[in-house]
Structure 1
Amino acid sequence: MASTSTTKKEIASELLPLIRVYKDGTVERLWGSPYVPPCPHDPQTNVSSKDITISHNPTISARLFLPQNQIYQKPQHLLPILVYFHGGGFCFESAFSSDHHRLLNRLVSQAQVLAVSVEYRLAPENPLPNCYQDCWDALQWVSSHRTHKELDANNTKKEPWLVNYGNFDKLYIGGDTMKAGVERLCGDVKILGAFMSHLYFLGSKPIGSEPKVEDFEKWLPCKVWKFLYPSAPGGIDNPMVNPVGAGAPSLAGLGCPRMLVCVSSKDELSDRGVGEAEVFEVEGEEHAFHILSEAETENVKIMLERLASFLV
């Protein structure tokens, strides 16, 4: 009788408690919420959702969210559009994860907007800065719907929810990290506003309550960036993660007249404000509490109300 044995995969590198990379190229994510399917009708929020493909090469997709009442009647007015880039340190979470699906259901219901939650490629399988380019490409794809033609320049059928319900004079972007380039958007669409909730910005010179000197290098947010993008020009002062550092382009380059930064008093990343942006702080909460909380607590409601009031 032949003997059997189990081959244990060898670890190439790991960033605990988040991620483990094996020598065969596979990646194990040790943190994050599970996948959930889209829902034609969420009974708690009265929001419909569906998944669409933005690009096959590279692979970029999205989950769209629309208030249910818009589907079965001719819209009295078009809805503001929110292009949302989910958080997760560039290497975990998803537009299709339960945490972000729940957040977008709540926010779309509260704000009465049409949301496009972008599924960009994750590191380290897709090295940085690929995810930034994916988000820009997704934003351009959304903007391309302004022409209201059935087919785009490549004879690709357009997304009917965007064509029928989206107000391209009220385009917003938001999330934990975001990138909007200096290029013009398709159809000359302008970004009306941008919000950053519990941002992930760093810099080589610790500020505020951030760990000092030798402890800074051991700080998980610092280790994440160096693990995922060790060749980043400028290291931790790269403009992608330090947008106010020396040589970084002005945030005015986002090209929008309004910006809101949301922070929490117990968030260890909250000390890095953004210039003269409007800042909204929730006391007694930690990083991404409004995403991670399954219950719609009083502070979650306060956070959602503030975001909804911004998206008008």
Structure 2
Amino acid sequence: MGSSARTIVQEINDKSFIYIRVYNDGTIERPSESKYVPPILDDSHPILNSKDITISHNPLVTARIYLPKLTISNYQNQLQKLPILVYYHGGAFIFESAFSQVFDNYFNNFVPLANVIVVSVEYRRAPESHLPACYHDAWYALNWVASHSTASFNTNYVEPWLINYGDFNRVFIGGDSAGGNITHNIALRAGVEALAGGVKITGAILTHPYFYSSYPVGSEPIVAPEDDLGILIWDFIYPSAPGGIDNPTINPVGPGAPSLATLGCSKMIVCNASYDELRDRGVWYYECVKKSGWQGKIELFEQEGEGHDYHILKPKSENAQKLMKHLVSFLHE
């Protein structure tokens, strides 16, 4: 069917920002998504290298891995071992990618500053694959990274950057927006299920995390469900969710949610922005974890005068650099 004959079945938008359009001929458009860009696998590049890797073929789980250039010169003596950050990108579970220009640009700025290996995971998105598919992919990717702690070049597919340079005593998970939600759910799973090689998650970074519920928190207004963007998105990405918008994957203290005291990491940082519509949810989550009896260390970082994902959208800005430097300290302290 030609594009002129398409009829829109559903469009998820916020004012002039269009997350996704789904047509009845099966076509899916993501008008606000940034373009895909290639990795930088070039020995002459001054600050880093990156490449795209396949983690699983069925289902297809891929990633872009980033390595600071400093380690390339140490290939022979292998003196430098780096923290590993497994990262889950944002985009409301429906748009953007580990290969999108906006995330690639962010990591091209962050990785040389942080001196860390980043594995930016390309998980399955809705509506092609409804939740909980992304959580399965995220866990599989983390477990694959952990498997390198006991891997050798004699085993099946391995990633040499992880074996040569990765410090498996410093494995972190993190993400922004939807990726922050994924990070929370993976940290919970790590509290009850062992990772390959006995690897433990050192820390979790939740930046502007996407949580929601059937009731407002903080200063959030009361909105009718049919007009509530958070509920509209959730029903679109996880239509079969038991409990709907109070499913434990989106409401961390909803009915039947596992105790936050079981979070499987040693420390956590929740990063907020004062102009972000999800700001109160971040504070709410932080307070819930603090009250849960969790034995780890949790920190709340808030940037005044900025909106959602400002650090991703403007990585060279003064406030983005401030946040990045704070995260560097979190990764290396």
TM-score, normalised to structure 1's length? 0.92
Find out whether 1:242 has 2:251 as its counterpart. yes
Which structure: greater helix fraction?
A: 2
- Shift, 1:151, TM fit: 4.1
Partners of 2:3 and 2:195 in 1: CA distance: 53
- Report the secondary structure of 2:138's partner residue: helix
Which residue in the other structure is 1:297 paired with?
Answer: 317
| Runs of 4+ with deviation above 6 angstroms | 42-45
- Shift, 1:91, TM fit: 0.3
Which residue in the other structure is 2:280 paired with?
Answer: 271
- Shift, 1:105, TM fit: 1.9
Cα distance change, pair 208–37 in 1 and its aligned pair in 2 (3 A): same
Which residue in the other structure is 1:83 paired with?
Answer: 86
> Does 11-20 or 45-54 show the bigger shift?
11-20
Find out whether 1:255 has 2:299 as its counterpart. no
CA deviation string 1:142-183 (max 9, x = no partner): 01101131244xxx2211000100000000000023232121
Paired residue for 1:228, among 234, 237, 245? 237
Partners of 2:243 and 2:172 in 1: CA distance: 30
TM-score, normalised to structure 2's length? 0.86
- Report the secondary structure of 1:131's partner residue: helix
Which residue in the other structure is 1:206 paired with?
Answer: 216
Find out whether 1:162 has 2:162 as its counterpart. yes
Partners of 2:43 and 2:234 in 1: CA distance: 36
Cα distance change, pair 246–43 in 1 and its aligned pair in 2 (3 A): farther
CA deviation string 1:68-109 (max 9, x = no partner): 121122332210000000000000000000111111222211
- Report the secondary structure of 1:30's partner residue: coil
Cα distance change, pair 150–6 in 1 and its aligned pair in 2 (3 A): closer
Paired residue for 1:13, among 10, 30, 46? 10
Find out whether 1:286 has 2:283 as its counterpart. no
What aligned pairs does 1:117-136 form with structure 2 within 5 A after superposition?
117-136=120-139
Which residue in the other structure is 1:108 paired with?
Answer: 111
- Report the secondary structure of 2:95's partner residue: coil
Query: Share of identical aligned residues, percent?
Result: 52
Partners of 2:96 and 2:78 in 1: CA distance: 33
Q: Give the AA of the match of 2:255.
A: A
Partners of 2:130 and 2:148 in 1: CA distance: 29
CA deviation string 1:167-208 (max 9, x = no partner): 000000000232321210000100000010011000111012
Cα distance change, pair 68–44 in 1 and its aligned pair in 2 (3 A): closer
- Shift, 1:14, TM fit: 2.0
Partners of 1:143 and 1:53 in 2: CA distance: 15
Which residue in the other structure is 1:184 paired with?
Answer: 194
- Shift, 1:44, TM fit: 8.8
CA-atom RMSD in angstroms: 1.9
> Does 34-43 or 22-31 show the bigger shift?
34-43
Which residue in the other structure is 2:102 paired with?
Answer: 99
- Report the secondary structure of 1:263's partner residue: strand
Q: Give the AA of the match of 2:243.
A: G
Aligned length: 303
- Shift, 1:21, TM fit: 1.1
Partners of 2:215 and 2:19 in 1: CA distance: 25
Find out whether 1:35 has 2:23 as its counterpart. no
Partners of 1:305 and 1:211 in 2: CA distance: 34
- Report the secondary structure of 2:148's partner residue: helix
- 8 Å CA contact 1:106, 1:304 repeated in 2: no
- Report the secondary structure of 2:257's partner residue: coil
Partners of 2:29 and 2:274 in 1: CA distance: 32
Which residue in the other structure is 1:195 paired with?
Answer: 205
Partners of 2:214 and 2:146 in 1: CA distance: 36
- Shift, 1:240, TM fit: 0.8
- Report the secondary structure of 1:12's partner residue: strand
